[in-house]
Amino acid sequence: MRKVGSDLNYVPWVFAGMALAFPIMLMLPFSLPFIIGGGLVFWGLKKINLFKSVKKWVKTKGTLLQTDIGVYEEMDRGVIKNYTPLVYFSYLWEGSENKSNMYSIDKKITWSHDLEVITKEINHIESLKELQVYVNPQRSNEAVLNIEISKNSYSHAYAILASGIIIILLGIVLIIKT
C-alpha cells in the first residue's frame, strides 16, 4: 500500500487563501463577493464541463504495467482511511505509446473504506488480458480506465456553481443597499 495523501494537505492552501483575501477585503470590501463568487462559478463550470466531456473520450486498448493500493487519510475524529486502486498502464494513441496512472477522473467513485473492495477491483483489473482505456482526444496524455462520474460529484459541482452565483448576487445586493 502506498500513501496518496491526507486532508491535512489542504490546510496551507486555506491559510494562503485567507491571507490573500484579507488585504483585498480591507482595501476593496465590496469586491470580495465578486472575487469569491467568480472563483466558485469558474470552478463549478470547469468541473461540470470536465464531467460532460469525459463521455466523449475515445476508447483504445492498453496494457497493464503495475497495480498498487493507495491510502488516503482523513482526520475526522481520528484517522479514517480511504483506499483506492493505483493502476499504471500504457496505451497506443495515434501511433505513439503513452503511459498514465489515472484510474478515474472521479476519485470519489473509486475510494472505499473497505480494503477488500479495492483488492477485488485490483484483482479484476489484473485478470483482464487487455484494458479498455479512455483517452481525451484533445489531450492524448490524459487517459483513464474508468469514466464513471458519481451523482455526488455532479451535485457538488452544481452546488459550487450555485454558491458562486448566490455570493455574486449577495455582492450586488450589498452594493445596492449601501
CA 46 to chain centre: 11
Residues 114 and 78 in one domain: yes
**Is 15 within the bounds of a domain?**
no
Residues 113 and 36 in one domain: no
Residue 162: what pLDDT? 96
Instruction: Encode pLDDT of 20-32 as tens digits.
Output: 777 766 666 677 7
Residues 161 and 133 in one domain: no
d(CA 15, CA 164): 20
Number of domains present in the structure of the chain: 2
**What pTM, to 2 d.p., does this model score?**
0.74
Write out the chain's pLDDT in tens, 178 residues: 666 666 566 678 778 877 877 776 666 667 778 888 999 999 999 999 988 988 889 999 888 888 888 888 777 667 778 888 888 999 988 888 889 888 888 877 788 888 898 889 889 888 888 889 999 888 888 888 888 888 888 999 999 999 999 999 998 898 888 7
Residues 43 and 102 in one domain: no
Residues 91 and 166 in one domain: no
d(CA 143, CA 59): 9
Range of the domain at 41: 32-56+155-178
Residue 13: what pLDDT? 78
Cell numbers at 50, concatenated: 470536465
d(CA 81, CA 75): 9
SS (H, E, C) the chain: CEEEEEHHHHHHHHHHHHHHHHHHHHHCCCCHHHHHHHHHHHHHHHHHHHHHHHHHCEEEEEEEEEEEEEEEEEECCCEEEEEEEEEEEEEEECCEEEEECCCECCHHHHCECCHHHHHHHHHHHHHCCCEEEEECCCCCCCEECECCCCHHHHHHHHHHHHHHHHHHHHHHHHHHHC
